[in-house]
Structure 1
């Protein structure tokens, strides 16, 4: 089963640390996307030609928001990015600075049976294509963050501690043939 935590019918946030010095293409950090070109999606990406980070959100009704920040991020140094999304607002923080404060009403984004890809994108259900060129660390998805939480995450240098217990599912998908690479159980402590 797939998590319903990332849905534009409720608030959610994605936080991650990354570094890259790529200058050749658009590389996704993570993506939720249905199968077709115009299907609902949430994508966090780098536009390495311009050296910026951005995001793209497309709702069920076809309302799309696609924008990039202003901080140069392809300098080979570590950077922290946080995307905060509600059905009517979108905020992007880079290194604890609010870069984008959008108010586009993207409406409902239905993402059923859709995995969250880290370092790649599921384009028409084919894994592969534009993988991230760099290092990604401390990826976390939250139900909601605010500016104070963003500052706490940035100053801690890693993810905030959590106290929730529960099961998660991790699948390793082969980029060459889109098959599951490993189904061994994992225990996280």
Structure 2
């Protein structure tokens, strides 16, 4: 079994929702050790550490269980880590951000100074295994977080492409006729 550390962010439908009730819903779903964030209106963030065979199935399972306890119309909005800053990575590795910036093995940013977690994880493995100088990364602290990256990226992409229903976390059939293309959305506007 592999350990995964990830955050799942849910969109909560409009209306009055008590922060304590939302937190209790997560705990009632069986995640007593979760760290729950309710600071942004309309969103619920849940930080989890879980074990399983692969990150995507662990994340999907957790999201399904939590969604069953949340108000009707709640939906998975995002899974993290996906796009990360060097500051995020440095914090997990217990090094300074500059220590990562100086490494030629680090990938280029993907978007606006954010990096794909999977590319960063590969670079870190390369640094640790083949680096000329011994890297002083705290891999024990970062491993579960880095392990969750592939599942987070994959699930975010599946939701964006309409392969997964974010309200039920059920996988849809390959026939995507009910999901309009970007062109159809623009043309219909």
Structure (1/2) with the larger strand percentage: 1
Normalising by structure 2, we get a TM-score of 0.29
Larger Cα-atom Rg: 2
Structure (1/2) with the larger helix percentage: 2
